[in-house]
Structure 1
Amino acid sequence: MTLYTDQNSLLKALLPYRNSKKIGFIPTMGALHEGHISLINKGLEENNVVVVSIFVNPTQFDNAGDLKKYPRTLEADIALISTLKGTVFIFSPDATDLYQGKVASKHFSFDGLEHEMEGKHRKGHFDGVGTVVSLLLKAVRPDKAYFGEKDFQQLQIVKKLVEIENLPTKIIGCPIVRESNGLAMSSRNKRLSPKQFEAAAIIHETLSEVNQKFKTHSIAQLNALVQQRFSKNNDLELEYFEIANVKTLKTAKHKRKGNNYRAFIAAFAGKVRLIDNKALEE
């Protein structure tokens, strides 16, 4: 495990791995947990070296308070990665080095993917995501990059970004890793009180119930079921629940044969925003 804090040093370290050896990449904002570790291990299985970026990207936060409160645990992250077997480079630049100038988002068009769900509630978020992922992919130039399906909309947008910018990296989606109560692992979980943590189990429980009833219930009935479930929970406030087409991410009002769907939830536990999703089986 080696730490690099600037692009030039990282590029020099990666030179021996170009062409004949494979480079994997896992972009993170730090505060690593078992979900991240599963991505890193997947990368180590499939590549000769894995680069893990640790960078809290300011341009993807629409809330300055959320950016300020985002956990930064670089020393603990390094210690955790150092326990893994395999060659891992940690890339933890400052914003000036990564952006090489003004720290600002570019504007992207992702064929409408950016306007759905998270895009409706977090203005400019996916411009920030697209900007930083583009910068990181161009800095690392990996053969494969690994993203968790917890941020499924982000995963689809990154795939579109690679297509738009004609980048040579293959984007790999990996399964959600969950806490013992079913809550999707997230760096934000560290901000939950014990009571909020237990109450947040309703998110995965609800998604599982929606999946179980997807064959027999209409989308309108499932929407009502979710609203009713959350209305009885005093610890979490539902921001949105949507069943969306997997390819377009557009909200579905009716099930159509031949389409694949996924259920998405965003909810607040106090000021902590949690998201999750689940593939729906017909």
Structure 2
Amino acid sequence: MSMETSADIAGLRATLDRFRQKGARIGFVPTMGNLHAGHISLIEQSVSRCDFTVASIFVNPLQFGAGEDFDTYPRTLADDQSKLVEAGCNLLFTPSTDQLYPRGLEAHTKVTVPEVTRHHCGAHRPGHFDGVSTIVNVLLNIVQPAVAFFGEKDFQQVAVIRKLVFDLQMPVEIVSGATRREDDGLAMSSRNQYLSAEDRPVAAELYRTLQHIASRIEDGEKNFLQLQTEGLENLSRKGFRTEYLNIVRADTLDVASERDEDIVVLVAARLGQTRLIDNIRIIRSHD
């Protein structure tokens, strides 16, 4: 099949309006490019659930802090286009920074989502989620999809986007897709390619640590603070510099108690120069 690529907001809107008038259900997958199997699984979900699928590729400067990897973030447009065509995407939107932030980053209206951004990545990357919520708001307003798809590897990001959409009464369904993993369990990420040959096998220990914590909770362990401490110690022994390892409620991302039934363990850690994030969800029943 063919796929249209557009960098023009007005042209994109005109195309989507034509399909909407025919009653088409539009799905949207926003990305920063350098697509892997996790991204493609979201495209495939959209293709299966919607009549017309739009993907976007935009490396958003507003969500990168000083000293982060905005300039070196991998940009692989030609390869991404091939993968999107194969997955059945109908239209790729590739806007420029000037189009999305016509008055510059400093002058642009910012969208802040309170509460759910306080901790975890929000505490370690000041301003990051303002950048995420602002660009997602802009892109959803441009595309106006019926459904938008996001990956669960960025669990806190999905929570932020769900709250954004709920609070601003946006008529879009947010669907999250399960994290795709390498054979050894490492969560797929565009940043994995930063890992050195020596660090790459060690990186899988991040998910193994989460699995161990989840298994202990499922077996009835109630001392979450002890589990966090043991997890941090294990990661440190393996060479990680851990930013956080938190056991939280899945709905609010606040500290979990032993009575909570829907729990997620969130982790962010650096290995060499690479920042990795991951999570594991535990749903328990108290019979």
Q: Does the TM-score normalized on the shorter chain lie above 0.5?
A: yes
Q: Name the amino acid aligned to 2:245.
A: F
Aligned residue for 1:232, secondary structure, equals helix
**Partner in structure 2 of residue 132 of structure 1:** 135
| Higher alpha-carbon deviation: 13-22 or 23-32 | 13-22
1:227 aligned onto 2:232: yes
**Partner in structure 2 of residue 39 of structure 1:** 42
**Partner in structure 2 of residue 272 of structure 1:** 274
1:143 to 146, 150, 175: 146
Measure, in 2, the Cα distance between the counterparts of 1:231 and 1:178. Answer: 22
**Partner in structure 2 of residue 161 of structure 1:** 164
Aligned residue for 1:67, secondary structure, equals coil
1:114 aligned onto 2:117: yes
Offset from partner CA, 1:139-188 (integer Å, 9 cap, x none): 00000000010001110110111112221110001111001110110100
Q: 1:64 to 1:6 in 2, by over 3 A?
A: farther
Equivalent residues, number:
278
Question: Are 1:106 and 1:128, in contact at CA under 8 Å, matched by a contact in 2?
Answer: no
Give, in angstroms, the shift of residue 107 of structure 1: 4.2
Measure, in 2, the Cα distance between the counterparts of 1:165 and 1:281. Answer: 29
Aligned residue for 1:135, secondary structure, equals helix
Q: Name the amino acid aligned to 1:22.
A: R
User: Aligned-residue CA RMSD in angstroms?
Assistant: 1.5
Aligned residue for 2:181, secondary structure, equals coil
Question: Are 1:34 and 1:177, in contact at CA under 8 Å, matched by a contact in 2?
Answer: yes
Q: Name the amino acid aligned to 1:36.
A: H
Give, in angstroms, the shift of residue 65 of structure 1: 4.0
Measure, in 1, the Cα distance between the counterparts of 2:210 and 2:68. Answer: 29
Measure, in 1, the Cα distance between the counterparts of 2:283 and 2:223. Answer: 13
The 5-angstrom pairing of residues 130-209 of structure 1 reads: 130-209=133-212
**Partner in structure 1 of residue 255 of structure 2:** 251
Q: Name the amino acid aligned to 1:219.
A: F
Offset from partner CA, 1:170-210 (integer Å, 9 cap, x none): 00011110011101101001111222121100111001000
**Partner in structure 2 of residue 239 of structure 1:** 243
Measure, in 1, the Cα distance between the counterparts of 2:15 and 2:67. Answer: 35
**Partner in structure 2 of residue 15 of structure 1:** 17
1:218 aligned onto 2:223: yes
Q: Name the amino acid aligned to 2:255.
A: T
Q: Name the amino acid aligned to 1:72.
A: R
1:93 to 92, 95, 98: 95
Unpaired segments of 5 or more residues in structure 1? none
Give, in angstroms, the shift of residue 272 of structure 1: 1.1
Moved over 3 A (4+): 104-109
Measure, in 2, the Cα distance between the counterparts of 1:10 and 1:116. Answer: 36
Question: Are 2:28 and 2:149, in contact at CA under 8 Å, matched by a contact in 1?
Answer: yes
TM-score (norm 2): 0.92
Q: 1:250 to 1:2 in 2, by over 3 A?
A: same
Question: Are 1:10 and 1:91, in contact at CA under 8 Å, matched by a contact in 2?
Answer: yes
Offset from partner CA, 1:54-103 (integer Å, 9 cap, x none): 0000000113441111111111111221222x352000110111223222
Percent identity between matched residues is 37
**Partner in structure 2 of residue 50 of structure 1:** 53
Q: Name the amino acid aligned to 1:155.
A: V
Q: 1:163 to 1:217 in 2, by over 3 A?
A: closer
Measure, in 2, the Cα distance between the counterparts of 1:162 and 1:113. Answer: 13
Measure, in 2, the Cα distance between the counterparts of 1:243 and 1:82. Answer: 39
Aligned residue for 2:91, secondary structure, equals strand
Measure, in 2, the Cα distance between the counterparts of 1:260 and 1:153. Answer: 15
